[in-house]
Structure 1
Amino acid sequence: MKKKILVVDDEPSISMLIEFNLKLVGFEVHCVYDGEAVFQAIQHFRPDVIVLDLMLPKMDGIQVCRKLREQNNLVPIIMLTAMQDLSDKIAGLDNGADDYMTKPFSPQELISRIQAILRRLQTLPSTVENAPLTVGQIEIQADQREVTLRGQTIELTPKEFDLLLFLCKHRGKVLSRQQLLHGVWDYHFLGDTRIVDVHISHLRDKIEHNARNPEYIVTIRNVGYKLTEPAMKESLA
């Protein structure tokens, strides 16, 4: 069965270019041209990945992303932006986007990133053990893509889940941002590695007792991050 990609861009020339290239490699593609149209398209088309432009009429990409995540819709989102300002890219990630690309971009690079997302979602269930992974009071049921903290389910985006699982599998090991990009995003990222920092920040907000003083995901200055087993006192907090 063909994987479905929803393309959301108000510039017909860009939408047509993306659609043409995605169809060439076997994807089923549906295009809409404003933010409000996304929600009806999702109900009928049920995409596997959304390629979402930042600047859209009626509802911009950040608003769309935020609303989808508020509805607990975890479909992976790649944000497109013509803006070079890092703050705009970070805003997209802060509101639930899994990745971003800056226009102009290579269609092949977009295809590679979509394929990387799908590859991770498809291969994970068949390559993990059924036994849960446990770190402190965090339990990860990899085959079901579920995470609990102190017995309570926590909602993670697909990329947040992949990042936490990767850290857990390499617990105690210092991982550079490039290692995390390759291991979690499944490609050698060319550009700003801040995408890792943003997702780490989101994870800390959801799993740490105090995100400003993390006990699970520790920053190793000038290197990257490490997942650690918190002190026993955390369980008594």
Structure 2
Amino acid sequence: MGEIKVLIVEDDPYLGMMMKECFETRQFKATHVLDGNQGFNRYLEWKPDICVLDVMMPVKDGFSLAKEIRSIDKQIPIVFTTAKSLKEDVLEGFDIGADDYLKKPFSMEELIVRVKAILRRSNSALESNTNTSYCIGRYEFDHTYQLLRLGKKEKKLTSMEADLLKYLCDNLNQTLDRKAVLQKLWGDDNFFNARSMDVFITKLRRYLREDTNVEIINVRGKGYKLLVLD
């Protein structure tokens, strides 16, 4: 973990400094800036491994910054922190491509645990000897590089999208228990995580829609199933 670089974009200077010091005492490298414009410039010059972005900031908000980052980097994990509690705001964050979403106030320990969990998921394919390449109907999916291919077209997935699709592939044509997926990938089956998983399932369905023999179905009262017809 000592080489992991964390970009913190937080307009509250006291909170931002606390977060920075918290990461540094756990052997991360951390940098803190106060607004979205500074955040994007620091992202370009510093090349962090993970971004922790406040949503409500002057100059440029966290959602706008995340969209800019995602336009050039589909892979880097992004965590949003915010005092906004509306479900629509949370879902918007996940739809942009967030890997996690912490509502203020949160403890520094919770932030560290969430970041470490995301990084473990991101690195698991590189550290494992398990299968990381799949054929899904006409699609090819490479979990290690987070790529979904159909012919010459490629779609770069976020780490959570790739992890969820891998879990579905590893259990092809089997029903995945909703709570088990939430506990494995999100670490908690609370309401907001459940809604975020629904957003990711919707996005994966959109990515796979060009092959009519591939479908992710809801199994009422249980969970989801990835079906591939012969």
| Aligned 1:149-188 pairs, distance under 5 A | 149-185=150-186, 187-188=187-188
RMSD: 2.1
Residue 216 of structure 2: aligned partner: 217
| Aligned 1:1-40 pairs, distance under 5 A | 1-40=2-41
Q: What is the distance in 1 between the residues matched to 2:34 and 2:84?
A: 19
1:50-100 Cα distance to aligned partner (Å, 9 max, x none)? 000110111111111112222234211001110111111111111121110
Task: Tell me whether 1:55 sits opposite 2:91 in the alignment.
Answer: no
Q: What is the distance in 1 between the residues matched to 2:54 and 2:160?
A: 19
1:130 Cα offset (Å): 6.3
Amino acid at match of 1:158: S
Q: What is the distance in 2 between the residues matched to 1:222 and 1:9?
A: 40
Higher strand share: 2
**How many pairs are equivalent?**
228
Identity of aligned residues (%): 32
1:174-221 Cα distance to aligned partner (Å, 9 max, x none)? 223322223233x235442111011111111211239xx994211112
Q: What is the distance in 1 between the residues matched to 2:116 and 2:58?
A: 28
Contact persistence 1:166–1:184 (CA under 8 A): no
TM-score by length of 1: 0.88
| Aligned 1:24-173 pairs, distance under 5 A | 24-129=25-130, 132-173=133-174
Farther-moved stretch of structure 1 (106-115 vs 201-210):
201-210
Q: What is the distance in 1 between the residues matched to 2:160 and 2:88?
A: 20
Q: What is the distance in 2 between the residues matched to 1:203 and 1:138?
A: 12
Gaps of 5+ in 1: 233-237
Q: What is the distance in 1 between the residues matched to 2:41 and 2:195?
A: 32
Q: What is the distance in 1 between the residues matched to 2:213 and 2:107?
A: 38
Q: What is the distance in 1 between the residues matched to 2:124 and 2:210?
A: 32
Contact persistence 1:149–1:207 (CA under 8 A): no
> For the structure 1 residues 15 and 183, does the alpha-carbon distance in structure 2 shift closer, same or farther, using more than 3 Å as the test?
same
Gaps of 5+ in 2: none
Q: What is the distance in 2 between the residues matched to 1:123 and 1:4?
A: 18
Q: What is the distance in 1 between the residues matched to 2:84 and 2:125?
A: 34
> For the structure 1 residues 28 and 214, does the alpha-carbon distance in structure 2 shift closer, same or farther, using more than 3 Å as the test?
farther
Farther-moved stretch of structure 1 (76-85 vs 170-179):
170-179
Amino acid at match of 2:226: L
Q: What is the distance in 2 between the residues matched to 1:158 and 1:84?
A: 24
Amino acid at match of 1:91: E
1:35 Cα offset (Å): 0.7
| Local SS of the residue matching 1:101 | strand
Contact persistence 1:5–1:27 (CA under 8 A): yes
TM-score by length of 2: 0.90
